[in-house]
Structure 1
Amino acid sequence: MGGYAILSEQCVGLSVGLNEKFYAFITTQDVQNEQISNQKIMIKFISKQIESEWIYEIDLISKKVNQQQNQAKNPFLEAVTQIAIEEGIEDLSKVKKNIYVNIFHDNRFYSSASKKNEQKSNYFSIFDKNNLHKTGLGSSACVLVATLGSLLKYFQDYADEKLHYLSQKANFIAQKKIGSGFDIATCVFGSQVYKRFPPEIFSSCTQQQYKWNTLNRFNIPKLLKIMMIDLQIGSDTRLLAGEVKKYLDNNPEEAQIFYEECNKNASKLQEIFSGIESIENLKEKRESIISLNKQYRSVFKAVGIKAKVETEPDILSDILDQIINEIPSVYYGVCPGAGGYDALCLLTDNSLTAEYLQAKIDQMKNQNSSIKEMVVQEMEISQQGFHLLDELSKNKFLQNIF
């Protein structure tokens, strides 16, 4: 809960971290003779799952970053490279090798409709990069934090506060100053009550700003879990966020009402969850939680209509309403993040199974021809953010890659 309200520094939002991950690990190669004479190295990002790579040449004297010509642009990896070189390394003279950053991601970040038939590992699927539909789990933020974190660790200049600050700055650049940064903070620190940074913080030259956001944990009761409904369509987050922000900036009085309503709902929901200790408590509070959910969805949808974008499309409103009304073990439902057609997320208790919800969704689809194929996936809530794999986990991970 929070959505577009946390574009304002006066508002708080509640974010829930999941156990889905992006992984990044680094290998190196000696530089070529001509690179030595020109004081240049290469950073190459490789994603075998979407059969893509992005190559950047780094001038160690000027700190300029140039991408190889005729390559697809990736604003997030470009910003990661720039920030890592400009601010992530204390001594550039120690950088002597070409760097290869290998990226892998859990399958649920992208729709099953995007998968190719081939499966090249025990765990990681291959996706069609020309038909890639995201599910709204924060893939852009995750790839940014994972790759930047791996580079900072490689350069031996890693700390959570520094990773958070530099990730926020890189995201700020990549998103062209749009976005609240809650997804970055959740990637680094896990579930939390989030408040946006003041944008002018990135113009400061001191390192005091690393501690600008005091982490305030948002603890979801262990009785709850997330069910995600993959819509296999996807939406452009930057477009949605850009249009809503433009509307809010141009209508300050309405924006203030919107901010206050969202902030009030988020604070109430945090208070309710903090007092839940048993399934009985949870059931007693369901009506209050559902009421807050409806209020939040109402303002979230309304601001999209006014901005002329579909933050909660009508067809998804109908689906959410029916699920919440007919399944007592569902406590909260939302189009996550910026909204649109990425996915639906439900907060449920442990009694609801993916099989039951899938059957319910299939029944709804048969009743409404406009509902396309939807796939239910059960998600594990995790309080853990960015972390380095221990030796056992690393070996297990390496066994599963191509």
Structure 2
Amino acid sequence: MLGTTCSAPGKVLLAGGYLILDRPHSGLVLALDARFYSRVELHEFKDAAAAKTPATSLLIEVHSPQFDDERRYVYEPTASTPLAPTPRADGTAPPPTNRYVEVPLLYGLTLLTELRGSGYVAEAVKASRAAGWASLGGTVGLRVTLAADNAFYSQAAELRARGWPQSAASLRALPSMLPPRRDEEGEIAKTGLGSSATLVTSLLAALLGTFGAISLPGEAVTLGAASTTPTSLALLHSLAQLCHCAAQGKVGSGFDVCSATYGSQRYVRFSPSLIAPFLALADGAAPPAKELAACVLGTTSAWDHIVEPFHLPPGVEVMMADVACGANTPSMVKQVQKWRQSDPAAEALWQEYAAASAKVQGAIAALCRLHERGVGGRGWDAQLCECSAVQPTEWNSISPVGAALALIRQSGLELRQLILFVSAAAATAIEPPAQTALLNATMEVPGVLLAVVPGAGGGDAVLALILPSAAPSATDGPVGERARAPCGMAATRSRVAALWATWPTTAPPPAPTVVCELPVREAPAAARHNGVLVEATSMEQGVHASAGAKQLAAARENAISARAAPSSVNHLRSPSLRVYTPDELRERAAKRAERAAGRLATAPVTAPGDVWRLEV
């Protein structure tokens, strides 16, 4: 039957941590190739429990196989609690509430009723039957399937259980969309890539896309005209921001939702007053439909966030490592805010920190402009390799590109120093001592441009920007050894990965217990868009996806058995969601970029500020 699969990218905040909570400060956000997938489709339920669904209601079944979670809801627009949990197909009681699923469903369905009329489900069923679907006499409702790439969750415990090394190669060898392990307290360690924001964004995209309310970038044959894409992205973004804030019960900065929608960017937050009235609603209450539509469409008050597309230039790539400590971002934010409100000296230090963050963002932007202009007179990669082959103190004298790299490195070091000052003053470990030692050692590796704790810091992850390494020279050993030595980006990655792999045993105390490279990079861009995408919309694509998912699940079960994995793994077996390996995703992204070049409209942007226009 009719259905849509959408995916949204994870994120990493390169600069602007904490500052991004307040206008007019900006943050530099990279969208990553780790993605969260949501599929929404019309489905015919044939069990006895489904048959009891009132004719005026809509049955919704949500599957999250990675978490062995299945739940059902009945949506009745006129009820005091429109979206109510109901027993599952086997008659067992519904699981505990999940607001990151329930709020998007409630708000999305409310908006669909306002935009498409109350008969939108019946129209979709009619279209499905016209396309060849034959009813079997069951109850027609919605089936939702949710799944995320492994990189969103720490896999350190999984690798230890399998006896595998803590490395990106081991992570790539794990089955895709593996159920994450829980600790002794039943908690799941995350890597800070924004799983809740990508869940909300991809779920809303699939829901609205299934009923034709939006047209999004993607490879689906039913994609509408490119000129409609910016409007659809804007509607999705504002609704996802509202839902994410309502789900977590507070108004955050929104950079994670914005990057899930638009991709890599420079971001300035929206005014919290835009959505404040909806956070006062009673738990489970539907938002007033007309007010909801006016809010997300911006007809009452225009959304005032700033989105400027941004991508790292070729030859500058991201490496990230999971340090398996986990950060409690809300408590850290509260601690920093408490310090700013209570310490008279806080404002002066905060302004220094803000200036340092702006300097880093401006320096990276300047490097991007040099690449766009072709500055330097020699090959771009050759200039980067030349810099990685010498000490950073020599970069300034090599070329304008070297000077730009030197500015990024120096401003990054200044930013880290101010982060340490803020950490001490606020009594919260934004860059913990263990991370400081790791980052310092990482920045000593040839080819590393910068190493930082991303976002709010703490114990989630570390990030490095790296450059390609030059091929060995005649003085670097015998010819045979030089021929076998890696060069380019692979050489730098290998050196950094080797440091991280041995760090727990070679680092000075206090060292993280685990440092494991994450197999993530900046998401590839199609026509400069690397945000939310449509993976499949037509029924024909859904049928092929179903067969592919079943075959892939069976293959993975065989692989797990062959490896004698120590745990029972519940893989994604949904007949509605195509599951891709990381290599398949990269291949599809490359093909998508080729087909989409020149077709997708660029997201609307606001004129950049003076800092973003900083010249070399």
Q: Which interval holds the TM-score relative to the shorter structure? A: 0.7 to 0.9
Q: How far, CA to CA, are the matches of 1:53 and 1:114 in structure 2? A: 25
1:28 paired residue number:
42
Contact 2:20 2:27 in 1 (8 A): yes
Matched, 1:366 2:505: yes
Q: 2:534 aligns with which of 388, 391, 395?
A: 388
> 1:181 matched to which residue of 2?
254
- Residues 226, 345 of structure 1: 8 Å contact kept: yes
Deviation of the 1:190 alpha carbon: 0.7
Amino acid at match of 2:154: S
Work out which of the residue numbers 120, 123, 142 in structure 2 matches 1:94.
120
1:44 matched to 2:61: yes
Question: Which residue of 2 is the match for residue 190 of structure 1?
Answer: 263
CA RMSD in angstroms comes to: 3.1
- Report the secondary structure of 1:318's partner residue: helix
DSSP 3-state at the match of 1:258: helix
Alpha-carbon distance between aligned partners in 1 of 2:148 and 2:533, rounded to the nearest angstrom? 15
SS of 1:19's equivalent?
strand
Deviation at 1:263, TM superposition (A): 5.0
Tell me, in whole angstroms, the C-alpha distance in 1 between the residues paired with 2:210 and 2:326: 34
Question: Structure 1 CA distance, aligned partners of 2:357 and 2:494?
Answer: 35
Aligned residue number for residue 126 of structure 2: none
Cα pair distance change 1:238/1:181, threshold 3 Å: same
1:178–1:295 distance in 2 versus 1, CA, 3 Å: farther
Contact preservation (8 Å) 1:225, 1:379: no
Residue 227 of structure 1: how far off its partner (Å): 0.8
Structure 1 position 353, deviation (Å): 4.3
Task: Say if 2:206 is the partner of 1:150.
Answer: yes
In structure 2, the residue matched to 1:215 is: 307
Cα shift at 1:378: 4.0
Aligned-partner SS, 1:379: coil
Q: Is the 8 A contact 2:497 2:517 kept in 1?
A: yes
Pick the aligned partner of 1:10 from 18, 24, 29: 24
Residue 180 of structure 2 aligns with an amino acid whose one-letter code is F
Query: Is the CA contact (8 Å cut-off) linking 2:36 and 2:199 kept in structure 1?
Result: yes
CA distance in 1, matches of 2:344, 2:104: 33
Range with greater deviation from structure 2 (359-368 or 103-112): 359-368
| 1:334 aligned partner, one-letter code | V
- 1:1-400 equivalence runs, <5 A: 1-30=15-44, 32-37=50-55, 39-62=56-79, 64-67=82-85, 71-89=95-113, 90=115, 91-95=117-121, 97-115=140-158, 123-129=176-182, 130-158=186-214, 159-202=232-275, 205=291, 206=294, 207-208=297-298, 212-249=304-341, 254-255=346-347, 257-258=349-350, 260-262=354-356, 264-277=358-371, 278-279=380-381, 280=383, 282-324=401-443, 326-350=444-468, 351=489, 352-368=491-507, 370-382=511-523, 383=525, 384-389=530-535, 395=544, 398=549, 400=552
1:315: how far off? Answer: 0.7
Q: Kindly tell me: are residues 85 and 188 of structure 1, through their superposed partners in 2, closer, same or farther at Cα, counting changes over 3 Å?
A: same
Give the Cα separation in 2 of the matches to 1:70 and 1:248: 43
Q: 1:122 to 1:385 in 2, by over 3 A?
A: same
CA deviations 1:275-304 (Å, max 9, x no partner) are 342242544433211121122223334334
Contact 1:114/1:132, CA 8 A, preserved across alignment: no
Closer/same/farther in 2, CA of residues 43 and 292 from structure 1, 3 Å limit: farther
* Secondary structure, aligned partner of 1:310: coil
Alpha-carbon distance change, 283 to 379 in structure 1, aligned in 2, over 3 angstroms: farther
Go from structure 1 to structure 2 and tell me whether the alpha carbon gap of 1:245 and 1:64 turns closer, same or farther (over 3 Å shift). Answer: farther
Q: CA distance change for structure 1 residues 187 and 338 in 2, over 3 Å: closer, same or farther?
A: same
Deviation at 1:214, TM superposition (A): 4.7
Kept in 2, the 8 Å contact 1:3–1:337? The answer is yes
**TM-score normalised per structure 1:** 0.87
Cα offsets for 1:56-103 (capped at 9, x unmatched):
432221363334566234332232123213334422443464322111
Contact 1:14 1:266 in 2 (8 A): no
C-alpha distance in 2 between matches for 1:77 and 1:247: 34
**Code of the aligned partner of 2:181:** D
Query: 2:407 aligns to what SS in structure 1?
Result: helix
The structure-2 alpha-carbon separation of the partners of 1:73 and 1:200, relative to structure 1 and needing over 3 Å to count, comes to: same
Partners in 2 of 1:80 and 1:246 — Cα distance? 31
| Letter aligned with residue 323 of structure 1 | T
SS at match of 1:179: coil
Q: Name the CA distance, whole Å, in 2 between partners of 1:242 and 1:30.
A: 47
Unaligned residue ranges in structure 1 (runs of 5+): none
2:442 partner letter: I
Shift of 1:162: 0.7
Report deviation, 1:144.
Answer: 1.3
Give the Cα separation in 2 of the matches to 1:35 and 1:346. Answer: 53
Structure 2 vs 1, CA of residues 155 and 304 (structure 1 numbering), >3 Å: closer, same or farther? farther
2: CA distance, partners of 1:257 / 1:55: 51
Larger radius of gyration: 2
Task: Give the superposition deviation at 1:152.
Answer: 1.2
- SS state of the match for residue 3, structure 1? coil
SS at 1:20's partner residue? strand
Per-residue CA distance 1:96-150 (angstroms, 9 max, x = gap): 643221111111111112548799x953322225342111111111111111111
Describe the SS at the equivalent of 1:42. strand
Q: Structure 2 regions of 5+ residues with no counterpart? A: 1-14, 87-92, 123-139, 163-170, 215-231, 278-290, 372-379, 384-399, 469-488, 553-571, 574-616
* TM-score, structure 2 normalization: 0.59
CA contact (8 A) 2:445 2:495 kept: no
1:18-76: CA deviation from partner (whole Å, max 9, x where unpaired): 11111111233347454225x33333332111222344432221363334566234332
